[in-house]
Structure 1
Amino acid sequence: MRTRTLGRTGPEVSALGLGAMGMSDAYGPTDRAESIATVHAALDAGVTLIDTGDFYGMGHNELLLAQALRGRRRDSYRLSVKFGMLRGPGPGFGGHDGRPEAVKNFLAYSLTRLGTDYVDVYRPARLDPAVPIEETVGAIKEMIDAGHVRHLGLSEVGAAAIRRAHAVHPVADLQIEYSLISRGVEDEVLPTLRELGIGMTAYGVLSRGLISGHWSAGRGGAPGDSRSAMMPRFAEGNVEHNLSLVDALRRVAEAKGCTVAQLAIAWVAAQGEDIVPLVGARTRRRLDEALPAIDVTLTADDLAEIEKAVPPGAARGDRYPQAFMANLGAGN
């Protein structure tokens, strides 16, 4: 497994990271034993970056990872943790909390659930519109100074917020959605990151499975799977068009000798050594498909063919429901 460094100040991590959300939340029923086996397989393959959030399954994901990581040397993996999204007993979200006292409270719970003394990268999941980002970041800086956090991260914020946060404490990386059909970061956010020496961990590289090559129109959502019910790109009328882009991408992948998923992941990785794709594999089978993507080398001709198959702005539908769009750092 090759490695990349998160910005100028962040840790060295595997060139591909594991996003653990789907093991606890959002995409329907999961198998705990298979989830743990998938984490083990990722670690054994050299994956060192694992991303979670304290609100993934209301703490379920952190407890799952604690079990999966038990017995592993703490310096053999890097934990990226998001906080601040408020949940209720039901499936909805209740806003954001970035108050300094809340930051420290969330962190204390995460450290306990994860069974660790520190997290490697700690980040607010979204901006709290009621709290200046300087105050939220200032609280994380205190936790860094105290040794409970190693590095500051951000998630889904725009260029202005990145600059304000970075002025308080160096930001290691921004976590934000980036894929062949979600390219809003390219206009302003990515240039800002590169100017300031901040890395990117890219989630949604397969657009929640839509461009994985495994989704089909009319696929019914399993209980607890929010994609068909809530995500505009999966909605009837949009999904058929978006899957036609996948068909075009499949032809490029076949010519390259790889799968659609591998091509889509490789495309994100090819956008810069400062970008680490996160794959949300929930099973060893999907992990086994994703891992070889890091070894897929894309030539200039390959990249041109991919652009022809999936031009910027070609997807139909927003990447989140409209209520969520206002809080995103790069809307599309």
Structure 2
Amino acid sequence: MLSLPDPGSDARAALRAELETLTTEVATDALRDLDTYPTAEIAAIMNEHDRDVPVAVAAALPRITAAIDDISASMRRGGRLIYVGAGTPGRLGILDASECPPTFNTDPSLVVGLIAGGDIAIRTAVEEVEDDPHAGEADMNSMDLGPNDSVVGISASGRTPYVVGALQYARSCGALTVAVACNSDSAIGKIADHAIEVIVGPEIIAGSTRLKAGTAQKLVLNMISTITMIRLGKTYGNIMVDLRATNSKLRARAERAVMRVTGRAPAESTRALDAAGGSVKLAILMIERGFDAQEASEKLAEAMDLRSALDASR
């Protein structure tokens, strides 16, 4: 039988007192009979609560912006973006990281998500690991961190020991550190170079931070990865020009991207894309500047991004 800590111990009492101070743990008195409400009313209440999230994210935009600028600068120097979290925050980090290769054609090692408990925790709750700061330190140690890396610790409560340990170790390696929490004056915020604290208030189910807090974290991570990739030249305007066409949908999207930027017909755009080996950037350069694939590749390597390459080749 699993032996649990004594609920009456001093440590547990201290933890209960700490949780009492967190807005994400508050039980809203007005919803004490929530389970008796009609389904339509519960859905309406959830929808109303969810409207608080973008407002809370907007309040944190200056801190989000500052973090993105520093992350972008670090990645231009060759660093990685590493998300770390436990439970829902860890899964959100992995989700965001896993979308970068197909969307922005990044190497899978460039944006990485780590979760307490390892890969099994992606689908199965491994709750006890989040209480171990040494596990967070060990996972960071396995990443061979350097001063150009950026580590984003994600925790709704802002106090998760696993994330605390990870950020402390990251700082000791000279990495840029960012905290994403949903409580003010958070423990991880005090550690990090950038504290992004998005205060969404109590959840409709007390303490169920996969709800508003999870939505807020997803929005923040969307901004971090997407705007960083824009800063790194992975888009041309609002067009994905560095996507990886790994299926029929993405191939069609790549063809449409070439057509949108160049204004050329489908047949010409498709031919250029084929000649460019599926690279949207090269296909656009080839069409707009009359280069062959080798010339376009050289110009792009010199300029680093499509807009600069087009401007330099006028």
**TM beyond 0.5:** no
Bigger strand share:
1
Please give the TM-score of this superposition, normalised by the length of structure 2: 0.33
Which structure has the highest helix share of the two?
Answer: 2
TM-score (norm 1): 0.32
Report the structure number with the largest CA radius of gyration. 2
